[in-house]
Amino acid sequence: MLSRVAENLYWMSRSMERAENLARLVTAHQNELLDATSSLSGEHAWHPLLEVTSMGDEDSDEGVVTYMVSSRKNPDSVINCVFLARENARSVRDQISEDMWLEVNALWLDLKQIRGNDPDRHSKICELTIRSALQFRGIENTSLPRTDVWAFEQLGAYIERADKTSRIVDLPHFLPSHEVSSAWNTMLRACGATAEHRHRYGGEVDAASASALLLFSTTFPRSVRFCVRMIDDLLHQISGTSPGEYMNEAERATGALLARLNFSGVEDIGEMGLHDYVDSIQMDLNRIGYEIQQRYFLLRKDAPPASAEDYVKGRMQAQASMQQQQQQQ
């Protein structure tokens, strides 16, 4: 498979996953703000989401929501991520199923129909994106053969999902102390994990049970551990390396993180603190993404960035800039 094709498949899927996860987080946080017990309001209400998603800062409440959901200036906004997913899908239409293309293209066209003066535009964008992303995943799982096309496409989704779940788990770190207890419910809703948590732990939600589910579950498909195991399996499928061995740095880094998660639990978080523990996971995931880029996508040895996180952000922003220029032409 051509490096360019593999990269387009990877970023098509990763962008779609990023759009869905951000839409989920915005929706869950909005529902939390509507709760009468929440003290968050005004311009400070959305700042925790800007922090946890590393999007920077905005001055006004309205500006923050627009920046996260519908701004074309923000390369990581929901609508820009959908645009990137669609443009990457268009580049590999001969590799993916017709129904996959139709779904992502229809989502983009539907989002363009939402007027800028619609008072419910942000809610509509998030709702459409979540529903379409779920349909997109269903279509890919029932229409793509389990070849390298499927493997690279899945790889992008699981790396992005692991990263966003880890960031969502870090949300309490950016909230006032009196709001932390309600954050666990927001986290579960954002990850679609409310029902699974109730099934496992009953109705009471606390830091230990929510963290255990979202970080260490071997069966919940949005947990970090589940995602990293899938990344490990996919990398070995692509390279043909036997399980438990590695032939490149991406496989080595993934295996190391998976081993740490396999032999860790909530009790280990207490030694580092949740924020530092999650931060270390995010750095490992950024390193894995960087090594995948180096191994499979780069045609030349570029100068290494200051960090793997800078590299991943740079790639996403470069794609956004390139696609916006193409749209304006």
Q: pLDDT (tens digit, 9 = 90+) per residue, 7-40?
A: 999 999 999 999 999 999 999 988 888 764 555 5
Please give the tally of structural domains in the chain. 1
Confidence band (pLDDT; 50, 70, 90) for 233?
very high
Q: For position 37, what pLDDT does the model report?
A: 56
Q: For position 329, what pLDDT does the model report?
A: 42
**pLDDT greater than 60 at residue 308:** no
For residue 317, how far is the Cα from the chain centroid?
15
In-domain check, residue 125: yes
Kindly provide the b/e burial profile for residues 52-84, where b requires at least 16 CB atoms within 10 angstroms of the residue's own CB.
bbebeebeebeebbbbbbbbeebbbbbbbbbbb
In-domain check, residue 329: no
Tell me the angle at which helices 148-169 and 180-190 cross, rounded to the nearest 10 degrees: 170
Q: How far apart are CA 124 and CA 134, in angstroms?
A: 16
In-domain check, residue 54: yes
Model pTM above 0.85: yes
Q: For position 176, what pLDDT does the model report?
A: 79
Which residue did the predictor score with more confidence, 178 or 183?
Answer: 183
- Range of weakest confidence among 118-132, 138-152, 170-184, 199-213: 170-184
**Nearest one of 142, 26, 157 to 85, comparing CA atoms:** 157
Joined tokens for residue 215: 């970080």
In-domain check, residue 79: yes
Which residue did the predictor score with more confidence, 256 or 72?
Answer: 256
In-domain check, residue 271: yes
Q: How far apart are CA 277 and CA 274, in angstroms?
A: 5
Length of the chain in terms of residues written: 329
Q: How far apart are CA 282 and CA 165, in angstroms?
A: 10
Q: By residue range, what is the domain housing residue 134?
A: 3-322
Q: What mean pLDDT value characterizes the chain? A: 87
Mean pLDDT of 195-223: 94
Q: What residues have CB less than 8 Å from 201, skipping those under 6 apart?
A: 209, 213
In-domain check, residue 328: no
**pLDDT greater than 50 at residue 300:** no
CB 42 within 8 A of CB 50: no
Q: How far apart are CA 62 and CA 211, in angstroms?
A: 31
Q: Tell me what percent of the residues of the chain surpass a pLDDT of 90.
A: 65
In-domain check, residue 327: no
